[in-house]
Amino acid sequence: MRYLLMMRATGFTEAGMNPGGTYKEAVKAYRQSLAKAGVLLAAEELRPSSAGIRVVYLSGGDAPEVRPGPFPIEQGLIAGITLIDVDTEEEALNWALRMPIPSGQGSCGIELRRLEDRAVHPRDPRQTAMEAELKDYLQL
Amino acid sequence: MRFMMIVKATTDSEAGVLPSQELIDAMQKYNEELVKAGVMLAADGLHSSANAVRISYPEPGGKPKLVDGPFTEAKEMIAGYTLIEVKSREEALEWALRMPDPHGFGQGEIELRQVFEFEELLGDPESRAKEEELRRQAQESKKA
Amino acid sequence: MSVSQTHRTIDTIWRMESPKLIAGLTRMVRDVGLAEDLAQDALVIALDRWPSSGIPDKPGAWLMTTAKRRALDLLRRNKLRDQKYVEIAREIDLYTEDDIDRALDGEIEDDLLRLIFMTCHPVLSQDARVALTLRLLCGLTTDEIARSFLIAESTVAQRIVRAKRTLNMEKVPFEVPAGKELGERLSTVLEVIYLMFNEGYSATSGQSWTRPLLCQEALRLGRVLAAIAPGEPEAHGLVALMEIQSSRLKTRINAQGEPILLMDQNRALWDQLLIRRGLAALERAQRLGRTLGPYALQASITACHAVARTPSDTDWIRIAALYEALLRQTPSPIVELNRAVAIGMAFGPAYGLQLVEELNKEPSLQGYHLLPSVRGDLLEKLGRLEEASAEFERAAAMTRNVQEQALLFRRAAECKQEGERT
- A abuts C (3+ Cβ pairs < 8 Å): yes
- A abuts B (3+ Cβ pairs < 8 Å): no
Cβ neighbours of A5 (radius 10 Å): 21
- Distance set, CA A64 to CA A54, A57, C311, C363 (Å): 10, 5, 57, 47
Size of interface B-C (CB pairs under 8 A): 61
State residue C353's pLDDT score: 96
Alpha-carbon distance of C186 to C122, in angstroms, equals 11
Q: What percent of chain B has pLDDT over 70?
A: 81
Give partners of C (≥3 CB pairs < 8 A).
A, B
Chain B closest-CA separation from residue C304 CA (Å): 22
User: E strands, C204-250, where?
Assistant: none
Please tell me the total count of domains within chain C: 2
Residues C356, C380 contacting (CB under 8 angstroms): no
Phi and psi torsions of B83, nearest 5°: -105, 125
Q: pLDDT grade, residue B86 (50/70/90)?
A: very high
- Distance set, CA B131 to CA B134, C126, C211, C256 (Å): 5, 30, 12, 15
Q: How many CA atoms lie within 13 A of C264 on its CB side?
A: 11
Cβ of residue A33 closer than 8 Å to a chain C Cβ: no
Under an 8 A CB cutoff, do A123 and C158 touch? no
Residues C374, C392 contacting (CB under 8 angstroms): no
Contact list in C for residue A124 (CB cut-off 8 A) is 191
Please tell me the total count of domains within chain A: 1
**Cα C43 versus chain centre, distance:** 28
Q: How many residues does chain B have?
A: 144
In sequence order, the 6+-apart residues with CB closer than 8 A to the CB of C134 are C140, C144, C145, C148, C196, C217
Cβ of residue A114 closer than 8 Å to a chain C Cβ: no
pLDDT tops 70 at residue B54: yes
Residue C95 sits in the same domain as residue C113: no
User: E strands, B29-109, where?
Assistant: 40-45, 53-56, 65-68, 78-85
Residue C76 sits in the same domain as residue C114: no
Domains of chain B by range and CATH? 2-117 (3.30.70.1060)
The type of residue at C323 is: Y
Residues B10, B108 contacting (CB under 8 angstroms): yes
Residue C18 sits in the same domain as residue C66: yes
Model confidence over A7-64: pLDDT tens digits? 999 999 999 888 888 999 999 999 999 988 889 988 999 999 999 999 988 877 788 9
Under an 8 A CB cutoff, do C337 and A140 touch? no
Cβ of residue A32 closer than 8 Å to a chain C Cβ: no
Alpha-carbon distance of C212 to C144, in angstroms, equals 12
Helices (H) then strands (E): counts for chain B: 5, 6
Residue C146 sits in the same domain as residue C159: yes
Residues C118, C185 contacting (CB under 8 angstroms): no
Contact list in C for residue A37 (CB cut-off 8 A) is 165
3-state secondary structure of A63: coil
Cβ of residue C252 closer than 8 Å to a chain B Cβ: no
Give partners of A (≥3 CB pairs < 8 A).
C
Residue C131 sits in the same domain as residue C62: no
Q: How many residues does chain A have?
A: 140
Residue C116 sits in the same domain as residue C75: no
Residue C216 sits in the same domain as residue C115: yes
Under an 8 A CB cutoff, do C408 and A122 touch? no
Residue C111 sits in the same domain as residue C220: yes
Under an 8 A CB cutoff, do B41 and C277 touch? yes
Cβ of residue A41 closer than 8 Å to a chain C Cβ: yes
Phi and psi torsions of B116, nearest 5°: -65, 130
User: Of C35, C70, C103, which residue is a domain's last?
Assistant: C103
Residue C93 sits in the same domain as residue C77: yes
Per-residue pLDDT of chain C (422 residues; tens, 9 = 90+): 677 788 888 989 999 999 999 999 998 888 999 999 999 999 999 999 999 999 998 898 899 989 988 888 887 777 656 665 655 655 555 555 555 555 555 688 899 999 999 999 999 999 999 999 999 999 999 999 998 888 888 889 999 999 999 999 999 999 999 988 999 999 999 999 999 999 888 765 445 555 788 899 999 999 999 999 999 999 999 999 999 999 998 888 777 767 788 889 999 989 999 999 999 999 999 999 888 999 999 999 999 999 999 999 999 999 999 999 999 999 998 999 999 999 999 999 999 999 999 998 888 888 899 999 999 999 999 999 999 999 999 999 998 888 888 889 999 999 999 888 86
Residue C36 sits in the same domain as residue C130: no
What is the ipTM metric for this complex? 0.84
Cβ of residue C208 closer than 8 Å to a chain B Cβ: yes
Residue C132 sits in the same domain as residue C51: no
Q: Would residue C268 count as lying in a domain?
A: no
Q: Quick one: CA torsion of A14, A17, A19, A20, rounded to 10 degrees?
A: 170
Under an 8 A CB cutoff, do C207 and B134 touch? yes
Q: Would residue C201 count as lying in a domain?
A: yes
Mutate to test the interface with C, among B115, B119, B142 (most CBs of C within 10 A): B142
Q: What is the mean pLDDT of residues B74-98?
A: 92
Under an 8 A CB cutoff, do C223 and B35 touch? yes
Range of the domain at A111: 2-137
Alpha-carbon distance of C319 to C337, in angstroms, equals 13
3-state secondary structure of C279: helix
Model confidence over C19-64: pLDDT tens digits? 999 999 998 888 999 999 999 999 999 999 999 999 998 898 899 9
State residue C162's pLDDT score: 92
Q: What CATH number did the domain enclosing C122 receive?
A: 1.10.10
Range of the domain at C131: 105-225
Residues B48, B13 contacting (CB under 8 angstroms): yes
Q: What CATH number did the domain enclosing A26 receive?
A: 3.30.70.1060
Residue C221 sits in the same domain as residue C142: yes
pLDDT tops 90 at residue A117: no
